[in-house]
Amino acid sequence: MRPERSFPALHRIAIVLLLGCCVLPLRAVPVDFDLPAQRAADALLAFSAQARIEVLFSFDELRQVQSTAVHGRYEAEEALARLLRDTGFTARRNRAGKFVATRSARPTGAIKGRLLTPEQRGAAGIPVAITGTARTTLTDRAGEFEFTRLPPATYRLRATAEAFRPIEFTAVPVEADLATVLPPQILEPAETPTLLEPYLVEGQSTRRESLNRAELAPRVAIGNLDLPRTENDALPYRIYDREKLARSGVVDLNQFLQRELLDSDATTRPLDQSGHRSSFLAGSTNLNLRGFGADATIILVNGRRLPESAATESGYLGTPDVNFIPLSLVEQVEVLPVSASALYTGNPVGGVINIVLRPNVDATEVTATYTNTLGGFDAPQSSVSLTHGQSLLDGRVRVRFNASFARTMPATEAELGYRRANLQTTDDPGASLYRATPNIRSVSLDPLFGPGSPPLTSVAPGADGSGGLSAFTGRQGVRSLELFDAMGGLAVSPDSTDQPYGRRQNRASYFGSVVWDIFPRLQAGVDAVYTHTTVNRGYDIFTGDLALAAGSPLNPFGQDVIVSLNETAPALGENYSEAQLDLYSAVGGLLLRLPHDWSVAGDAQYTRNVARYRGLSGVDAGRWQELVDTGRYNPLRDTQVQAPPADFYDRALLYFGEKDRFITLGDYQTIDTAARVTNQSLPLPMGLSSVTAGADYRMTRLANYTEVARYADGSLASLPVLWRGRTLERISAFGEIQAPLLPAKHLPHWLKLIEAELAVRYVASDLSREANIAPTVGLKADFASGWSARASFTTANRYPTSAMSRRVTTGGGGGPGVNYAYIYDPVRNENYNVESEEDANPAIVTEAAVTQTAGVIYQRGGRHRLRAALDFVDTRKTNELLYLEAQSVINLDALFPGRITRAPLAPGDSHTVGPITSLVTGLVNSSWRHSQNWNAAVDYAWNDCRGGTLELHGRLVYFQRYARQVLASSPVVDQLSAPDGTAAGLMRWRANFGAGWSNRRWGFGLDGHYYHERLLPEIEWISQGSKYIKGTTQFDAYLEGDLARWIKWLDGRCGLRAQLRVNNVFNAEFPKYANDASGAGVQPYGDWRGRTCSLSFTASF
């Protein structure tokens, strides 16, 4: 017996036929619609009534999704498409002229292009077909064509026209909800009527337009955690895409950011470009947004924290090193220069840099870059990477692999000559002077060569110390003033010609990723990266003042003398002092897609940063002197070419940890977990919105470290010192919503949209002083005229990085184990190196910051696209965490006394105080800081300029105000008009600009970088000879092209592009800065090497 059906059951499964008030054939006549966002089934009923059109649909399915509001005058087909946008349904007209709404089988994309005649006019009526399918179309009057509703895949297109060579577009990728836009193509006449061989166009050279904002950042289990961000959001984001990265011609990410982030520190060199800093140090110390400190800028990778570097000379965690991320893996870099603790973990005060990795692609790509100087010497940098992505099991499993290798060789003082040009000497005969060969002086300053002769001399070049007094013939009163030249290779000393302006580095990075769609709604993923970096700076150079007694058989002078010399340990090899830096990172995640575009994601990340070092800690001064006293060490030889005896290695040298062994200096581990619920298309009464909420947990652990120096036989040079590490845990809960503030139907015609962004984060930790709540609010209004206005209010609270305080081991002769700083002493008006030690201050308290922004955006055009933006940023920070660097300690001695130690005033010294022997740096709480700056950006693109695209761009940062009060009792200092040295690197103006043209075959362009003059603290005016560091402008030029069309044997099997770029093409000189920390006497903007050339190749298969 057949069961009887009830009407409700029939209502749920039947296809409902709706009749309008008057059934009419579909006409392309605009109709006034007033359809608020509601259940799609109800919206279709209202649509049918207003349009008087029949619609067939499944009532039960459509009532489960929310429609998009439709208000205004539209043709019926367009109104229906708007109504069903983002519902997962589409409506098509059947043969009877009625609309049928059905569920979209799968997301689709589109291909757009344009064909031009040889006169560069639109080629109309040209057939274009998708090879292997029945899809064909004709170009319109403008020569444009378009294929829509294409399933994601790789396609091949062919265009044919009589008397013209056919055009084939190969390997054209189509992605869901994206339109692949092909560059315009010019038809070429066939050389003969029968020669119709097609020429090929590589699909890889296309650009893509977003068809759906929610797809700007596809969410996968291990992908970018952040909501999609654009430069047109309520908050003033800046986006640097992959194309800009590729055009930069650099071999690592920090070089790119150093030049492009205008509100970052232009004067601080990253550690890999600072040869005077220890080789085991890593970190992008120059990424200091808006001058609030590198540790106040949070760096993320796919929304997750990039761990800090493990080893420092002070025990504080270092800054993250963005160079751990290979350039070939980066899709774009998102920069938010405001205090935004609510949006991002880590309590950023200066801002956030989020590095978004490339999504999954089915392709193989090989990229190689080589750069070198055009200055007549050799200082190469190179990188090569292999990236492969592949889909398996009908696309349910996607795998990626990347291997990247980079090498850098720094320029040296012998090649650049900056220190030699500013070499300082002294007329004081009793002063120590460490130069090329040993300098000798009488202890009593009596004549060395008989009555009336000078009390000083120096060793002749090449001398072996056995020539007696005759070896000093012609050198009476002659001091060695040239820089020390070690026995080949690099050497670490400001007194050496081989001192590197940077570090020699070899880096290898391996990345693997697997994403698996276990079920249609459940996805799992895991990715892992391992990066190994080897760093060295060459020979260690030790300075010493050795006493040679009158009775020593080595002494030909017959009186006590002091020998000031440089010494090396060449038997150990140039690369004995070497650091090995390892980064391990693994991310695992699950993503559950729920109905109505909801998703639940959970992930965990484990990272480990390990710094190992093998090297020398210094020289035991007593044992070194003992070797001289016993005649086993001759100080009267040319130490540049005459190696020290074996006893020097066995008895005097201090080895870091243990001879010939790598010692772990830093072992830093982090565990980050997060769970969040997200909906990027949430239908609310005001309109479609994006929302996310969740919680995260972070654990950081710095392992214990034992500081010890040993002699060659393994015996202790001093008692070991254990510095205890630290574990810190933080947990936070957060939420964010991006939504229209008012429904579209309530807005006047001149206002298109007004949207708001609201976020809040609560942070708690095992430090009670760090618990806080940080809100963020943003507003944006889009006007029909193309103008937009935006404003935001953001906050941040920051407790200082966990620290493990340790002293640097000091040996009698100095060396790399001692942290030296090159300073200017205003009391003595001298520049010299002093020993620097950092002190941890446990009494500091949390700092708080509030940032307010306001800005306008103007966008207009299609083929002529123009975007201009202007934003004002105001930040006030209290309980400022101030890091006193070496020069700042000296400049602020009156405010922070007791941090400087001076030597007693020597007899005959005309100064009022002795020279500084050591100083103590570190963190202190200051009173407040107030920063105001303007950010401007202009971008213009002409998409049909001579068969290609002409692009113009400009970026400018202007600091209007930068004031701070160090202590409540101290005066307010304007760091722009009257700086005191506590906010180094600030310049009032800085700008980037450029122009470029490109088509499918080739392109060229010119970029510019402007650095405004910088006012110095008053105490530096005398040494500088001016109040300012002069401004400068540098220009870069590039030429890029598609080589595949010239290499016939490729036959369309792969794409091959090349770029030639010259940075600082006019070789602009660095401006003078007498007190530069490197001792070079210049302010280096850009690359130390000056004018450089880079050559890049990218092959895609």
Collapsed DSSP state (helix, strand, coil) of residue 1068: coil
Beta bridge partners of 127: 138
Minimum mean pLDDT range among 389-398, 542-551, 584-593? 389-398
Structure tokens at 241: 């895409």
CA dihedral sign of residues 1014, 1015, 1019, 1022: positive
pLDDT the model gives residue 210: 37
| Cα 991–Cα 996–Cα 997 angle in degrees, nearest 5 | 165
Q: How confident is the model at residue 119 (pLDDT cuts 50, 70, 90)?
A: confident
Three-state SS letters, 622-683? HHHHHHHHCCCCCCCCCCCCCCCCHHHHHHHEEEECCCCCCEEEEEEEEEEEEEEEEEEEEE
- Evaluate if residue 927 carries a pLDDT over 90: no
Collapsed DSSP state (helix, strand, coil) of residue 1040: strand
d(CA 478, CA 498): 23
Three-state SS letters, 18-31? CCCCCCCCCCCCCE
770-777 long-range contacts, CB within 8 A, separation 24+: 770/730, 770/797, 770/799, 770/846, 772/341, 772/797, 772/846, 772/848, 774/341, 774/342, 774/347, 775/342, 776/235, 776/340, 776/341, 776/342, 776/343, 776/736
Mean pLDDT of 885-901: 86
Beta bridge partners of 274: none
Percent of the chain with pLDDT over 90: 45
Our measurement of the distance from residue 418's CA atom to the centroid of its chain's CA atoms, rounded to an integer in Å, reads 28
Helix (H) or strand (E) segment spanning residue 335: strand 330-336
Mean pLDDT of the chain: 84
pLDDT the model gives residue 199: 47
CATH code for the domain defined by 214-360: 2.170.130.10
Residue count (the chain)? 1101
* Residue that has been written with the tokens 């400087």 in this structure: 900
Collapsed DSSP state (helix, strand, coil) of residue 1024: helix
Q: Which of 1087, 998, 741 is nearest to 205 (CA)?
A: 998
- Evaluate if residue 789 carries a pLDDT over 90: yes
Name the maximum alpha-carbon separation found in the chain. Answer: 137
d(CA 600, CA 596): 12
pLDDT the model gives residue 736: 95
Q: What pTM was computed for the model?
A: 0.76
d(CA 596, CA 734): 22
d(CA 213, CA 753): 15
Annotate 709-744 with DSSP letters as a single string.
Answer: EE-TTS-BSS--EEE--EEEEEEEEEEEEEEESS-G
| Cα 955–Cα 959–Cα 965 angle in degrees, nearest 5 | 150
985-1033 pLDDT, tens digit per residue, is 788 999 999 999 998 789 999 999 999 999 999 999 999 999 999 999 9
Q: What is the Cβ-side half-sphere exposure of residue 866, based on CA atoms within 13 angstroms?
A: 7
pLDDT the model gives residue 811: 37
pLDDT the model gives residue 10: 31
How far is residue 55 from each of residues 37, 68, 72, 106, measured CA to CA in Å? 18, 17, 20, 22
In the chain, count H helices and then E strands.
12, 62
Mean pLDDT of 629-648: 96
394-397 long-range contacts, CB within 8 A, separation 24+: 395/517, 396/516, 396/517, 397/514, 397/515, 397/516, 397/517
CATH code for the domain defined by 109-210: 2.60.40.1120
CA dihedral sign of residues 677, 678, 682, 687: positive
**CATH fold label, 7-103:** Phage tail protein beta-alpha-beta fold (3.55.50)
pLDDT the model gives residue 802: 47
Q: What is the Cβ-side half-sphere exposure of residue 808, based on CA atoms within 13 angstroms?
A: 29
For the chain, what are the domain ranges? 7-103, 109-210, 214-360
Burial of 675: CB neighbours in 10 Å, binned 0-12, 13-18, 19+: middle
Minimum mean pLDDT range among 90-94, 291-295, 769-773, 870-874? 769-773
How far is residue 181 from each of residues 125, 186, 209, measured CA to CA in Å? 19, 15, 7
Beta bridge partners of 354: 300, 334
- Evaluate if residue 374 carries a pLDDT over 60: yes
d(CA 976, CA 476): 51
Structure tokens at 439: 């300098």
d(CA 524, CA 592): 9
- Evaluate if residue 197 carries a pLDDT over 50: no
* Residue that has been written with the tokens 């160090």 in this structure: 966
Angle of helix 40-51 versus helix 76-83 axis, rounded to 10 = 170
* Residue that has been written with the tokens 């306001």 in this structure: 854
d(CA 1034, CA 1085): 9
Torsion of CA 1015, 1018, 1019, 1021, to 10 degrees: 60
* Residue that has been written with the tokens 């499964």 in this structure: 13
pLDDT the model gives residue 177: 65
Structure tokens at 915: 């020279």
Beta bridge partners of 180: 111, 208
pLDDT the model gives residue 11: 34
Structure tokens at 333: 């870099």
Q: Whole-angstrom distance between the N-terminal and C-terminal Cα of the chain?
A: 63
Annotate 803-835 with DSSP letters as a single string.
Answer: B---PPP--TT--TTS-EEEEEETTTTEEEEEE
Q: How confident is the model at residue 808 (pLDDT cuts 50, 70, 90)?
A: very low
Q: How confident is the model at residue 105 (pLDDT cuts 50, 70, 90)?
A: low
18-69 pLDDT, tens digit per residue, is 333 333 333 346 788 889 988 888 899 889 888 878 788 877 678 778 888 8
Annotate 534-582 with DSSP letters as a single string.
Answer: EEE--EE-EEEEEEE-TT-TT--SSS-EEEEEEE--GGG-TTSSEEEEE
* Residue that has been written with the tokens 């190689």 in this structure: 368
- Do 482 and 496 touch, CB atoms closer than 8 A? no
Structure tokens at 146: 């378009």
505-557 pLDDT, tens digit per residue, is 999 999 999 999 999 889 999 999 999 999 998 999 999 999 999 999 999 99
pLDDT the model gives residue 2: 39
CA dihedral sign of residues 262, 265, 268, 273: negative
d(CA 260, CA 266): 10
How far is residue 776 from each of residues 344, 354, 568, 781, measured CA to CA in Å? 11, 18, 57, 17
Structure tokens at 808: 């640097």
How far is residue 317 from each of residues 213, 321, 773, measured CA to CA in Å? 38, 12, 25
Burial of 417: CB neighbours in 10 Å, binned 0-12, 13-18, 19+: middle
